[in-house]
Amino acid sequence: MATEFEVGDKAVYPAQGVAEVVGIDTKEIMGTSQTFYVLRVLDSDKKIMIPVDNVENVGLRQIINDEEVEEVYDILRERDVDLNTQTWNRRYRAYVEKIQTGSAFEIAEVLRDLNLLKFEKTLSFGERKMLDTARRLFVQELAIAKSTTEQDILNELEHIFSA
């Protein structure tokens, strides 16, 4: 059963972040009528059209619920993590793949791992950018999920990783 969205709903688009459904359009393409969700990515104002039939394939999903919010925080607080087993470029590729899934849980893992790694060594430029991306995606979704500000979420993250 495909996830259905209505105009005004917020959804998570993998690797882009939170988007608002600003319209539902039907267009004729090569003789076939197709319905699209028209999304506006919140932090870039980018417009994206996704065929309603293709929502599952692109990974568009609902904002996480309260229970999932707790799970995500559990992931962030985990400290018994094996970090340095791979070369930086293998690790980097693994992080890219996790972020591209769009999963709040995978993004939380990237955020946690890079924050923990930061205490052990200086992050490479790529890893710093990856940390910024993971933080942005995470903070955006959590602020909406918890009906709070992005600054509140950033403060929580700071608290979690300074402990």
Fold of the 10-62 domain: Thrombin, subunit H (2.40.10)
In angstroms, the first-to-last Cα distance of the chain is: 42
Least confident stretch, 9-13, 95-99, 120-124, 131-135: 120-124
Distance CA 38, CA 50 (A): 7
- The 8-class DSSP code of residue 148 comes to S
Range(s) for CATH 1.20.58.1290 in the chain? 66-162
Range(s) for CATH 2.40.10.170 in the chain? 10-62
The tens digit of pLDDT for each residue in 81-91 reads: 877 667 778 88
As a whole-number percent, the residues of the chain with pLDDT over 70 amount to 97
Chain-wide mean pLDDT for the chain?
92
DSSP E strands: which ranges in the chain?
10-13, 17-29, 32-41, 47-51, 61-62
pLDDT of residue 3: 74
Distance CA 143, CA 91 (A): 28
Fold of the 66-162 domain: Methane Monooxygenase Hydroxylase; Chain G, domain 1 (1.20.58)
